[in-house]
Chains A and B, each alone.
Chain A
Amino acid sequence: MSHLLSVSDLHVGFGKDPVANEVVHGIGFTLDPGETLAIVGESGSGKSVTALSVNRLVDFGGGKITGGRIDFTLGSGAVIDLAAAPEKELAAIRGREIGMIFQEPMTSLNPVHAIGEQIAESFRLHHGLTGKQAMRAAIDALERVRIPDAARRLKYHPHQLSGGMLQRVMIATALSCNPRLLIADEPTTALDVTVQAQILALLSELKRESEMGLVFITHDIGLVAGIADKVMVMQNGKAVEQGRPMRCSMIRSIPIRSIF
């Protein structure tokens, strides 16, 4: 059986000469449905670039995939190489098959729109729902991430909600189309510790409910033990360690040690 996501020998570079300015040097990993892969590493180790390459958002930041394959199994069972797919196909896959949440919930939502509309956006795009139906679906999505009184909250603007609530909204938006893969780029870094725990619990619950794969990026190695099935430690654009969490060798490979 093929994996949900299988990345092999991925090279990503930036700028006019992406081969010379390579920042990710030959990363490879696999992920099965219902599995969580944690990518851990210090700042600048290439973990976010790796994750952004999976849904090819890296293209918009001036990056380019210079080598390797990203094989992704679609809901229909077909396997597609995302590294080579044209932008049109990617746009249909983003949101529908691959969801993403970002580090800063405050800035990931547009300040001028009510949150309901922002959630409804992806229902309109991918399911062709009309105004009322999309709003109804948005209420369900908010209830799914355990936001109480969802119907009233739909009309709130981002500045009226707390960081934890906004991150729930982001998760609701990312999960609105039941993606098979969710990429979470440091989803709890901007939140305080108690909210962090809630969001992590919510993510694992939602993952169990829908059997989706989760790529979880963090620089907080403490979170990894609780949430991950697999860990990849990155340093300088290379995977320095891969395996199950909390092996002794992994603790030794925590990048900070190499500085001393």
Chain B
Amino acid sequence: MTLLRSIFAHPSGRIGGTIVALYLIIAIMGLVGLTPHDPLMQFRIDRLHAPSATYWMGTDLLGRDVASRLMIGIAQSFIVSFASVALATVLGIVLGLTAAWFGSYWDGTIMRAMDVLLAFPAILLALLIITIVGPGTWTSVMAIAFVYTPIFTRVVRGPALSLKTREFVDAARTFGSSRTYILSRHMLLNLVAPLTVQVTLALAWALLTEAGLSFLGLGTQPPQASLGLMLSEARNLMEMAPWLLVFPAFAIMIGILGFNLLGDALRDILDPRSRGAVA
């Protein structure tokens, strides 16, 4: 609760938090079917209808309502980004903590492997994985998670290395605490602040990567909607029906802006130097 309050006391946190909250509401409404029209229903007589009172954001080539499709598109994009970031976070925590804890060859192997993955541009690596496994929603979740795991591994490993030598870890050992207990209770909880910030920023990148993959036809498959897929379907009709392009493009842009502002605010709020102590 205190975290929520400090987010809304922070200027960029207020804007970012509002945007993200709004997107979440839209996504949930899209998922439970509270859309103005059926997003898959084709209103054939109203094809390429400009935005009006009936169709708030117009209709596409097949006569489907853009506003409704945008809602389930946002939901789809959010599911993919949240799932992939959650997966990347878990993998990154496990790899980073064990690398820092065991050190030596295990650390060397993991971190060099992560360096190799980091050397590839994110979208290229994701493309490679999808080309091997085949397109689809869950493949893109896996691919995006895989691409962002190295970043989380590094974010965890750095502070974990310094936490490992802190006296409270030694002290925990003198009480006879087990390794798992020290790792989860003493190390991981001290990493919550940097991880929270990283998760928020990674959500923005994941959103963009998902849009990119869907745009290239490798993410969400039609007739389902996602922000990237809607852009891709609109690009040939840009001059005839600009509303097809403008709304999803803005949705992506504002969404990423929201996550980034929220991430910035969280970084300020959770930074121990600006607060004295992490409590």
Contact = CB atoms under 8 A, between A and B. Distances in A.
A95 B176 contact: yes
A55 B170 CA distance: 11
Nearest to B192: A112
Contact of A102 (B171, B189, B278): B171
Interface string B162-195: 0000111011111111100100011001101000
Interface string A170-210: 10011010000000000000000000000000000000000
Contact of B167 (A95, A108, A112): A108
A159 B168 CA distance: 14
Chain B, interface residues (CB within 8 Å), range: 20 to 34
Nearest to B103: A62
B223 interface: no
Given A93-B176, A174-B175, 6 more contacts: A94-B173, A94-B175, A98-B174, A102-B167, A110-B172, A121-B172
B276 interface: yes
B279 interface: yes
Contacts of B171: 100, 102, 108-109, 170, 173
A109 B168 contact: yes
A221 interface: no
Contact of A108 (B168, B178, B276, B279): B168
10 contacts: A57-B170, A91-B178, A93-B176, A95-B175, A95-B176, A110-B186, A111-B277, A121-B185, A122-B175, A126-B175
Interface in A206-256: none
A99 B174 contact: yes
A112 B173 contact: no
Contacts of B186: 110
Given A94-B175, A112-B190, A121-B175, A102 B170 contact: yes
Interface in A117-135: 121-122, 125-126
A177 to B, nearest CB: 8
Interface in B197-234: none
Interface of B: 166-168, 170-178, 181, 185-186, 189-190, 192, 276-279
A111 B186 CA distance: 9
Query: What are the 10 closest A-B residue pairs judged by CB atoms, nearest first?
Result: A95-B175, A95-B176, A100-B174, A94-B176, A159-B277, A122-B175, A107-B167, A108-B171, A110-B168, A108-B167
Q: Say which size band chain A's interface belongs to.
A: 20 to 34
A174 B168 contact: no
Contact of A92 (B170, B173, B176, B181): B176
Interface of A: 55, 57, 60, 91-96, 98-100, 102, 104, 107-113, 121-122, 125-126, 157, 159, 170, 173-174, 176
Nearest to B279: A157
A91 B179 CA distance: 10
Nearest to A106: B167
Contacts of A111: 168, 190, 277-279
